A and B are shown apart, each in its own frame.
Chain A
């Protein structure tokens, strides 16, 4: 502890139990208390902290804002949490080259705001963008509503300065795309803080389009809305965003935010197309036709910027709103091929009803990326276990439909045991080798992503703590 204080300054190291409580969980069910939390402000300090922790044989866990939904930042074996929130400077925004250089603790929305001043945008826009950090986004390869057209975080990261698990500092990638050599940058993004700590980032920026058209398509049922999603994609239009909100969400959002979602709709689709005016008009026309064909009751178009912002407010505030409906809820993240959406969604609703839980759906439908939110009360005996079982059954459903166990939240602690559903022993062995090559060992963010990591135990349920972060955390 004194070594850490010497390296980082006394006030940048927390170790009193009451100070540590806030760092034992992220936005998931899992929690464990760290031995210390440090707040470095330079890359050298990060490196020094890593070297010190290694020298003392203490686990290390990188952390951004702690909004992660897979337990990635939870110090499951204790140790030192390295919180990057003080490294929150935007170093450069270069509108001519369309790149930005920043520290990892910059909040996603702060980067967006800084870009907007130049008519530029940073495309990855997770719904948690008001609080999550760019470092966390990189570690989880975050997506957002606009991933459909622009891709996930990895498609926008050009280069990274990282502190490796042994404390060495290096750059992966650079200021230009497609740097020579094996794509180390591409492996690092999405590695959930198990291959090193991001200390500086260079990202690609895009220009705001000339025109944006935001539509709200209203359907009687989730099924019809799901069919419309497939229909739009099949028809050859890839909107920039194609989001679904079901009736449970609408009922939660509308009374609070008054954004204009009809309370009696089975589901709505929030659809955005952008580009040159002519292109937007033609795309919008095709979208409307596809929605009508699938029985849309109405397709509204935002007539003003204010109206557009309002429609989005409902989407962005959706998860927060369900917090008011239920003492606890469990956010799932699964992906299915888009043509499977109607079948899988109706099965999700059936399974939830059968298990006796309300399930609210607000998700990136265009990507086939589901987020069922299961509402429950942890004080009801056995409820948490039944929710976890239901979560497992829904994941199984996604896998059986040819999909995956996570589209954007990551594997972390939560989904390790599901990895065997989609990967063979050989596949997982190859993933272990990536870690070995990186020198991850047993101390660097231990027990994340891979099942059967050394000294981490097997059972999924045994690690699940019956604690849920309070719903307020999710806004």
Chain B
């Protein structure tokens, strides 16, 4: 303990004193770090990280702290580095449809800036408006838009990352197509900050569709809903999302408690009129109910449910043709479940999902070549069950060894560090 506090005292000297923050507010899984800092420039981040590394202090970079229950519980947590002061636009050329921003900028601010030019970052919406660009990339979680619009992974053009040695490492660039060298930015996307702290990111943008509309279609069974959803997927609709909901998920989304197909399209008004015709026609053909346009509310509710940190949340990757049966299996295990057809992804949440239920859902997904990731769960559960269940561990371990040899960053998130 005294060695830690001596080390922290040394670290304090590298930044102006007003960068220190009260550590209590940065507790993760009930553990409070010994110190917390909110650096204001990327150089400060690099300097701070290097001094922690030299003192073998365990560091966790944080954005809005909306996804701190993702991954194994930290095995050590000495210093929190809050990135939210890094919130500037570095370069924005609307006509190029690219932007470079600092990693602590919130997605909400980013979208607002882009919206002024009728543009947006077509990344899946996080549950919270406060989520930062860095957190978005570090977690790289897909949502309802996956496979209709690009994922964060596909939008990232370049990255600047602070390394434990204190250098700023850049990869990619600001052009929309680029194959120069190894794509380090892809490596950091989804790495949960275990290989470096993201300080700047360049994204590819999209023009905002002139209009957006959603429809909810009520079905008798989930199988009927799945058949209908497949028929809709096979039209040329400008889909942004196409989801299947159990009765319980429908209730959460403030719809009638019955299985539903929920879809969203974006485009010109004339296009949406045509979409509506198609939706209505298919609804009638499927002998389902509804097909009227609805507001955004169900999507928002599902998004919040996906990010509900008071619950255990699971995400399964599964072939599209298995989405319905996987949703049903999750519901049978007591979860509220819904899924996105094109992405082949199923979300399931519950207050307490028992370990055997998680294991058997994982086995089901794996039997179809898929996976189960625990998105959020109480710490003890994340200790007993591997939240990721990824197959290839050796390469991850050797990347970690190369990029963070002392195990300074997010210690224990991926695997127990020797």
Contact = CB atoms under 8 A, between A and B. Distances in A.
Interface of A: 94, 96-99, 140-141, 143, 147, 151-152, 154-155, 164, 170-172, 174-184, 186-187, 189-191, 204, 207, 209-211, 230, 233-234, 236-238, 275-279, 282, 335-339, 364, 367-369, 402-411, 415, 419, 422-424, 426-431, 433-439, 449-450
B345 interface: yes
B187 A155 contact: no
Interface stretch (B33-41, B52-60, B247-255, B384-392): B384-392
Interface stretch (B79-87, B166-174, B284-292): B166-174
B230 A96 contact: yes
A93 B99 CA distance: 38
Contact of B173 (A154, A174, A282, A403): A403
Contacts, number: 268
Given A238-B206, A369-B177, A276 B390 contact: no
A198 to B, nearest CB: 15
A177 B147 CA distance: 9
Given A207-B234, A276-B271, A276-B274, A175 B181 contact: no
A422 B206 contact: no
B344 interface: yes
Q: Which 3 A-B pairs have the closest CB atoms?
A: A181-B390, A186-B186, A176-B317
B171 A97 contact: no
Contact of A234 (B95, B151, B369): B95
B156 to A, nearest CB: 10
B207 interface: yes
A184 B190 CA distance: 10
A233 B388 contact: no
A335 B178 contact: yes
Contact of B318 (A94, A176, A424): A176
Interface in B385-418: 387-392, 395-396, 398-399, 401-403, 414
B179 A210 contact: no
Interface in B234-249: 234-238
B344 A97 contact: yes
B75 to A, nearest CB: 18
B174 A179 contact: no
B141 interface: yes
Given A230-B95, A402-B175, A177 B317 contact: yes
A177 B140 CA distance: 11
Contacts of A175: 317, 319, 344, 368-370
Interface string B115-155: 00010000000000000000000001110001100110110
A358 to B, nearest CB: 26
B138 to A, nearest CB: 11
Contacts of B154: 151, 154-155
A449 B399 CA distance: 19
Interface in B163-217: 163, 167-171, 173-184, 186-187, 189-191, 194-195, 206-207
Given A171-B392, A275-B238, A178 B150 contact: no
B187 to A, nearest CB: 5
Contact of B369 (A176, A178, A430, A434): A176
22 contacts: A98-B342, A143-B177, A172-B395, A175-B319, A175-B369, A177-B147, A177-B151, A183-B189, A184-B392, A187-B184, A189-B183, A207-B236, A209-B236, A238-B97, A276-B271, A335-B176, A338-B97, A338-B176, A339-B96, A404-B178, A437-B398, A437-B399
A276 B319 contact: no
B270 interface: yes
A210 B96 CA distance: 29
B334 interface: no
A99 B319 contact: yes
Nearest to B118: A236
Contacts of B141: 178
A208 B11 CA distance: 58
A163 to B, nearest CB: 13
A345 to B, nearest CB: 15
A180 B177 CA distance: 26
Interface in B348-383: 368-371, 373
B181 A411 contact: yes
- State the main secondary structure of chain B at its contact with A: loop
Instruction: Name which of B171, B180, B183, B268 has the most chain A CB atoms within 10 A of its CB.
Output: B180
Given A279-B268, A433-B402, A434-B399, A426 B180 contact: no
A344 B328 CA distance: 57
A155 B319 CA distance: 17
Contacts of B18: none
B224 interface: no
Given A186-B187, A434-B402, A436-B402, A411 B180 contact: yes
Contacts of B371: 174, 176, 179-180
B153 A183 contact: yes
Interface string B301-335: 00000000000000001111100000000000000
A224 to B, nearest CB: 17
B187 A180 contact: no
A391 to B, nearest CB: 15
Interface in B25-48: none
Contacts of B399: 182, 434, 437
Nearest to B157: A404
A392 B192 CA distance: 39
Given A175-B370, A180-B388, A338-B95, A187 B175 contact: no
B319 A430 contact: no
Contact of A367 (B177, B189, B319): B177
Contacts of A176: 317-319, 343-345, 369-371
Contact of B184 (A99, A141, A434): A434
B165 to A, nearest CB: 8
A431 B184 contact: yes
Given A177-B317, A186-B187, 5 more contacts: A151-B150, A184-B395, A276-B274, A337-B93, A426-B167
Nearest to A155: B154
A210 B388 CA distance: 39
A276 B236 contact: yes
Contact of A336 (B175, B194, B317): B175
B94 interface: yes
Contacts of B317: 174-179
A97 B403 CA distance: 37
A181 B177 contact: no
Contacts of B168: 426
Contacts of B270: 278-279, 282
A140 B87 CA distance: 34
Contacts of A275: 236, 238, 267, 271
A278 B271 contact: yes
Given A175-B370, A190-B179, A210-B236, A96 B96 contact: no
Contacts of A170: 391-392, 395
B402 A237 contact: no
B98 interface: yes
Nearest to B399: A437
B183 A186 contact: yes
A368 B177 contact: yes
Given A96-B321, A175-B370, A427-B171, A182 B179 contact: no
Contact of A402 (B146, B174, B370): B174
Nearest to A398: B175
Nearest to A335: B175
A282 B171 contact: no
